[in-house]
């Protein structure tokens, strides 16, 4: 099976496609201003863009792991998630609290999708 990498830097790739499976790097907001709802919406837009470039889409997400810097923002994150997720095509999901690479980041989402 082929391996195809996207946005490959010296440290990581933003997406890696193996056969029909797409692995995205954990996405944090490129511009981490605003609250959790806003950052989640920004992250989900980045995921849309990356999946599109890989030949996938949000309708084909298999699994999502959501890391929140503060679990008390669970409802605020879901406000953006619920407005975005593809009805009838929701992925398996796990959401936990974890400090992220910088204090400006309030949410990080890692996704596995089908091509």
- Coil, strand, or helix at residue 90? coil
Q: In this structure, what token pair is assigned to residue 28?
A: 């944090």
Residue 16 near residue 22, CB atoms below 8 Å: yes
Q: Is 112 one of the binding residues for its own copies (CB under 8 A)?
A: yes
Q: Is 4 one of the binding residues for its own copies (CB under 8 A)?
A: no
Q: Please give the Cα distance from 80 to 76 (Å, whole number).
A: 7
Write out the binding residues for its own copies, residues 15-54 only, by CB under 8 A. 15-16, 18-21, 23-26
Residues forming contacts to its own copies in the complex (CB under 8 A) are 1, 3, 5, 8-16, 18-21, 23-26, 60, 62-65, 67, 71, 74, 78, 81-82, 85, 87-101, 108, 110, 112, 114
């Amino acid at each position: 099976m082929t391996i195809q990498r996207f946005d490959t830097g010296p440290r990581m790739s933003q997406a890696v496609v193996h056969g029909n499976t797409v692995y995205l790097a954990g996405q944090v907001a490129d511009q981490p201003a605003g609250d959790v709802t806003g950052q989640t919406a920004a992250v989900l837009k980045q995921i849309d863009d990356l999946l599109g470039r890989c030949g996938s889409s949000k309708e084909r997400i298999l699994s999502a792991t959501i890391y929140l810097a503060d679990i008390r923002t669970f409802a605020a994150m879901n406000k953006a998630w619920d407005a975005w997720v593809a009805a009838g095509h929701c992925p398996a999901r796990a959401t936990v609290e974890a400090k992220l690479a910088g204090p400006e980041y309030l949410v990080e989402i890692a996704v596995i999708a089908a091509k």
